[in-house]
């Protein structure tokens, strides 16, 4: 009986850690699948689409001065040629993508 309980506790711990790792990587994965085509893999907007639409790179002074709340709102609602993602991504996914994007500037 004790072995069974220990096994369940160990399994629960492993699944919890796997979920945490998966969540931590979700901003990166979501960015790569939804954003990198325009913003570039490194956030420098160096893709063909990014250049043609004049997307600002992550290190642009105007981008750097934006708050997290402003970036989240822009991602949710879109701006100019950037589509809105409020119906495509959850609030948690949007925050994770913004956090990942900001980390590219460091």
Going along the chain from its start, the domains and CATH numbers come out as: 26-103 (1.10.760.10)
At residue 9, the pLDDT reads 44
Please check whether residue 85 is in contact with residue 78, taking contact to mean a CB–CB distance below 8 angstroms: yes
Instruction: With a cut of 70, say whether residue 17 has pLDDT above it.
Output: no
Q: What are the residues whose beta carbons fall under 8 Å from the beta carbon of 92, sequence distance 6 or more?
A: 23, 26
At residue 106, the pLDDT reads 86
pLDDT tier for residue 6 given thresholds of 50, 70 and 90? low
What is the value of pTM for the model shown?
0.75
Residue-wise pLDDT for 44-99, tens only, equals 999 999 999 999 999 999 999 999 999 999 999 999 999 999 999 999 999 999 99
Find, among 59, 37, 58, 57, the residue nearest to 48 by Cα.
37
């Amino acid at each position: 009986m004790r072995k069974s309980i220990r096994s369940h506790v160990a399994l629960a711990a492993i699944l919890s850690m796997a979920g945490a790792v998966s969540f931590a990587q979700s901003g990166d994965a979501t960015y790569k699948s939804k954003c990198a085509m325009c913003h570039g893999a490194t956030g420098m907007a160096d893709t063909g689409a990014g250049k043609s639409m004049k997307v600002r790179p992550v290190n642009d002074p105007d981008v750097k001065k934006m708050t997290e709340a402003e970036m989240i709102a822009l991602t949710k609602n879109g701006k100019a040629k950037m589509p809105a993602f409020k119906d495509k991504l959850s609030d948690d996914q949007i925050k994770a993508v913004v956090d990942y994007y900001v980390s590219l500037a460091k």
